[in-house]
Amino acid sequence: MQTQTEIGYNSKIEGDVVLTTVDAALAWFRKNSVWPMPMGLACCAIELMAVGASRFDISRFGSEVMRFSPRQADCMIVAGTVTYKSAGFLKRIYDQMPEPKWVIAMGACASTGGMYRSYAVLQGVDKIVPVDVYIGGCPPRPEAVLDALMKIQEKIGKQPILRGTVAAKLLHLEEK
């Protein structure tokens, strides 16, 4: 069962009162404050920095806090070529991120190894971490990165949050 994403709000009738489900509200808070962990490895990192700069402003999505510490981040953006030497620490950093976490594979190199079919390049970061959104391009335009962020936001909006938590069990929110 998918949670409602609609937040019923009509100011003329309800005034300042919003009626919605807890899940929808939590999802709305979450998706408008996705804190990325920029795993900026190569050229895509430069376009990622351009997304964070003033022209393409990732701040309007609430994501300008590029947290380099995995413990404080939601979404890991793998930007650049992942080599076999880098694979170890990348997986370790992904493991250190707390749930819920998402991964964006930015660019051709992160998605599939790109044009580097050689002995040293991991052919796609999805071989070691589960990826939610792939962005094509070499490097992808900053607008494409923002589009991927919007897709992540859509995904977060549909994610059931309360189900399976301790609070849900206590309040008997699950159907028997």
What are 103's two structure tokens?
């991964």
Give the span between the Cα atoms of 73 and 96, in whole angstroms: 10
Give the span between the Cα atoms of 174 and 166, in whole angstroms: 11
121-150 footprint of other proteins as x/- string (CB under 8 A): x-x--------------xx-x---------
Q: Does 116 bind other proteins (CB under 8 A)?
A: yes
Residue 55 CB, shortest distance to other proteins, in Å, is 5
Q: Which of 11, 12, 119, 175 binds other proteins (CB under 8 A)?
A: 119
Q: Are 16 and 22 in contact (CB under 8 A)?
A: no
15 phi, psi to nearest 5 deg: 75, -125
Q: Which of 24, 34, 36, 47 binds other proteins (CB under 8 A)?
A: 47
Q: Does 35 bind other proteins (CB under 8 A)?
A: no
58-87 footprint of other proteins as x/- string (CB under 8 A): ----------x-----------xx-xxxxx
Q: Which of 93, 105, 133, 149 binds other proteins (CB under 8 A)?
A: 93
Q: How far from chain centre, in Å, is Cα 119? A: 30
Q: Name the nearest CA neighbour of 116 among 77, 89, 81.
A: 81
Residue 26 or 49 with smaller CB distance to other proteins: 49
